[in-house]
Amino acid sequence: MRPSFPNLLGNAQQSLPSGLVIPNPDTRTPYAQHVNLTVERELLNPQSIVSVAYVSTFGRKLSRALRPNGGEQLPQSQRPDTSVGVVNVLETSANSDYQSLQVSYSHRLTRDLQVRAAYTYSKFIDDVSDIPMSNQGLARDVIPFDGSDLRLDRAVSNYDLPHIFTFTYIWRVPFLRENRLLGGWTISGINTLHSGRPFTLYTGTNTPEGNNNNRPLDIAGTLVRDPSSATPIAFAEDVTRTQLTPAAGQYGTVGRNTERGD
């Protein structure tokens, strides 16, 4: 249900400025619940340690911004309250869920060499991934896609990395240890491989809530495998830009963060 806004100036012949920021009176303090269950065991010898852990974090009452009176592109005559322009309502109704399985193996090969390998399989779901307000105002990825149905914004987080593999090593160079200049060196490194980050497809058109934050229509079509064969006005076979772009006043049907980068 959209909140209503009283006329703060009564019958005065003035108009309120656009871009109001109003905290929701029901704002609560955000909090997080952490769960960590870890089992460690020696593998064959005390120098080899295997660890298996379930790690999760559940964020509750997280900050988000709503625009009950429409965004910048909505004509003033079509706003629910025509006496004001854009109104940003800050509230704490967003949630996030992170769950992961973390496996690691560490081994001291010699007195001077130690290695560690770790793998994380996880999923991170949220309603909004970034801070609602900044010096630049509201970014399009923190504006609700459809203020009347906030469930459409719940998806994998911008920071969801399902697979992460890390390999680290520490080697104390055994040569010339007695030399004050050349001795005592340590070589170490961290190598990380991980999945690509998810991202949302935008059409460059507007929804009533924000600027350029509408999404494409989800229609049948085979994606072009070779980008060099695509034309500037189409990125799917037999599908034109017109077919993918929602009509004025229509919301796209592609979800949030449905694609993933390399």
**DSSP symbols for 218-261:** ----PBPS-GGG-BTTBSBTTB-HHHHSPPTT------TT-EE-
pLDDT for 242 equals: 62
Model pLDDT for residues 103-152, shown as the tens digit of each residue: 999 998 878 889 999 999 999 999 999 877 654 456 667 788 888 888 99
Q: How far apart are the first and last CA of the chain?
A: 39
Q: Classify strands 87-108 and 20-23 as parallel, antiparallel or unpaired.
A: parallel
Confidence of residue 185 (pLDDT cuts 50, 70, 90): confident
Most confident of 13-22, 51-60, 183-192: 51-60
Confidence of residue 225 (pLDDT cuts 50, 70, 90): very low
pLDDT for 191 equals: 97
Going from N- to C-terminal start, the domains of the chain cover: 20-260
pLDDT for 160 equals: 97
With a threshold of 0.75, does the pTM exceed it?
yes
Q: Are 147 and 154 in contact (CB under 8 A)?
A: no
Residue % of the chain over a pLDDT of 70: 80
Among candidate residues 70, 254, 236, the one with its CA nearest the CA of residue 147:
70
Most confident of 24-28, 43-47, 63-67, 93-97: 93-97
Model pLDDT for residues 64-97, shown as the tens digit of each residue: 888 888 887 788 888 888 888 888 888 999 999 9
pLDDT for 82 equals: 85
Model pLDDT for residues 230-245, shown as the tens digit of each residue: 554 445 455 556 667 8
pLDDT for 132 equals: 72
Cβ neighbours of residue 254 under 8 Å, at least 6 residues apart?
201, 215, 216, 217, 218
